[in-house]
A and B are shown apart, each in its own frame.
Chain A
Amino acid sequence: GEDVEQSLFLSVREGDSSVINCTYTDSSSTYLYWYKQEPGAGLQLLTYIFSNMDMKQDQRLTVLLNKKDKHLSLRIADTQTGDSAIYFCAESMGTNAGKSTFGDGTTLTVKP
């Protein structure tokens, strides 16, 4: 079955860049997503990338996709303390957004 893996923790200093990595196993994944979850809250969709794209940039966020290696990364430029949260990588097949397989989440801690 599908499997999505992430490193569990990342700590950076305010102003630095953060890079959160994710690997997945399902080569038929069509969309790959990054979500942010703050304590006690639901998930906020940050960005997503279609599998035929290599890169997507949206303000401070850059998503890189290496489809050959099934590797996805999220880079946050100029990381702020408000970026501290859990970041989930997820994949879905076709246009079946919402029915996704999630990684275990990476807890990002931003130190002042």
Chain B
Amino acid sequence: GAVVSQHPSRVICKSGTSVKIECRSLDFQATTMFWYRQFPKKSLMLMATSNEGSKATYEQGVEKDKFLINHASLTLSTLTVTSAHPEDSSFYICSARAGESDTEAFFGQGTRLTVV
């Protein structure tokens, strides 16, 4: 299957700073990427849908000013957690879909964010 790579896999940042997480589709062009957050021993919660060249669509309850998403190219989407707080510590996972009618989405390996 297609490969989606996230970077970094782990990051520790100080409270109040911002951190950027990258999601890259390595061998296909991803028109749409999705950002999920996973709490410990919990399921994945969809945060936002990122479409190349347009603004991201955020799910209800997700602060768009706090979680900035940019999808500037067909192979890269970034999630920036701004002014991070300890409660933002979580596992963030992206997925990418190649085309509008593609039935499969491919997930990155996830990024473990710890805010201290």
Listed in ascending order, the chain A residues whose CB lies under 8 Å from chain B are: 31, 35, 40-45, 48, 50, 88, 95, 97-105
Contact = CB atoms under 8 A, between A and B. Distances in A.
A88 B43 contact: yes
Nearest to A104: B43
Contact of B103 (A48, A101, A105): A48
B87 interface: no
A98 B109 contact: no
B49 interface: yes
A40 B108 CA distance: 12
Contact of A44 (B6, B101, B102, B107): B107
Contacts of A48: 103-104
Given A45-B104, A45-B107, A95-B102, 9 more contacts: A42-B108, A43-B95, A43-B107, A97-B104, A98-B95, A99-B49, A104-B43, A105-B42, A105-B43
Interface string B24-67: 00000000111000000011101001000000000000000000
17 contacts: A41-B109, A42-B93, A42-B107, A42-B109, A43-B44, A45-B1, A45-B105, A48-B104, A88-B44, A95-B103, A97-B103, A97-B105, A98-B105, A99-B49, A100-B105, A101-B46, A105-B43
Contact of B110 (A42, A99, A103): A42
Overall SS of chain B's interface = strand
B71 interface: no
Contact of A31 (B6, B44, B103, B110): B103
Interface in B56-85: none
Nearest to A31: B103
A72 to B, nearest CB: 15
Contact of B43 (A31, A98, A99, A103): A103
| Cβ-closest 6 pairs across A and B | A98-B105, A42-B109, A43-B107, A98-B97, A42-B110, A97-B105
Nearest to B96: A98
Contact of B34 (A31, A98, A104): A98
B21 to A, nearest CB: 12
Contacts of B34: 98-99
